Amino acid sequence: MCQEDEASAYFDCLPDALLLLIFNKLHDLKSLTKCLSVSKRFNALVPLIDTAFISVPPLKHPTSSTATLYVHSALRLLFLKLFLKPLGCFHRIMAPPKSNTRSFDLSCCRRDGVLKIFKEMKSLHLELPGDGGELGSSSASGASFLQWKAGFGTNLKTCIIVGATSFGKRLQKEEEREESMEEEEEETVLNDEELKSRVIWTISCLIAASTRHCLLKQILADNPSIPLLERVVISDSNKQGVLCVGKEELAEMRNSVNTLESIERSPVPELNMKLWYLPVLELPESGYVMKGATLVLIRPVVDGMIENDGGDPLVGDEKPFGEAVREMIKVKKSYFMTMTSF
């Protein structure tokens, strides 16, 4: 007991600045919230952190009692309306119960959530569960690798998408390596079906990005008491997509955002797209090979056509995403497209 008191006394001697540094390194909101209850000193210091990470939990599945209630309701509907409206009744019974449009719980970021106490926060990172409750998936669209990064202000500013039909460790057998070299020498031209699949990848990623953007607008509307926020990142646990918003963009959003009564996807403006394609792309740094490798750079039409700019701040050093972007952008042949708003 004495040893515990002695350790506590040493801990109490630490200056506030050092404790704040520790809390900022901890940065996990769940852990920080628990620290609020440790002592009055912790309760006063924790809200002063400037960096927070929130791992957003998924919504709980309906309980067995809820499921049972639904079954009983369906049976009652069957007996009451089977003879009056058989087709309509059958459709209503077979259809699943209405569910929330999102599969995650963001209550901590709501108006009455714990996030409101962190008034000194400058950086916030949200990680959504799974696919983030968004539309589209790489497997459903024929892509074994599909990642994106998007930058937003009031509207989309830029988006980078990297995809591939096959993604795996670099081939080791010499004969397989020679086969890959032959595939690389093939003409880098997309046929209509391949181009169509790339458009599907692009739309899927843009919908996911605009959904997260709208989610951020709701968070800003619900938390006006965090005026120092300079950077927000919204990613997902599958590491498929990242939305990044900086200081100037957040200020731009605050000036335009109002309290939102419902969550709806932010509209995507008319876009210019530049696409690069390679049948086979080897990534020596990360040790992977991508087949059907595709890079898409997107900006709104008002910004003009996209240039061959390898210095886009969204690229970053993440492997294999960053390496694929740097290699693909060297390809001379590219496709230009325009996509209408949706």
Q: Where are the domains of the chain?
A: 64-94, 107-339
| SS3 state at 2 | helix
CB 75 within 8 A of CB 91: no
Q: What is the pLDDT of residues 308-335, one digit of tens each?
A: 444 455 666 677 899 999 999 999 889 9
Q: Residue 231 has what pLDDT?
A: 96
Q: What is the pLDDT of residues 51-72, one digit of tens each?
A: 999 999 888 755 444 445 544 5
For 194, residues 6+ apart whose C-beta sits below 8 A from its C-beta are 277, 292
Q: What is the mean pLDDT of the segment spanning 261-277? A: 79
**Mean pLDDT for all residues in the chain:** 78
Residue 193: both structure tokens together: 């079906």
DSSP assignments along 74-124, one per residue:
HHHHHHHHTTTSHHHHHHHHHSPPP--S-SB--GGGSTTSGGGG-TT--EE
Residue 67: both structure tokens together: 């499921």
Q: Which long-range contacts (CB under 8 A, 24 or more apart) does 308-315 make?
A: 312/158, 312/160, 313/151, 314/149, 314/150, 314/151, 314/158, 314/160, 314/244, 315/149, 315/160
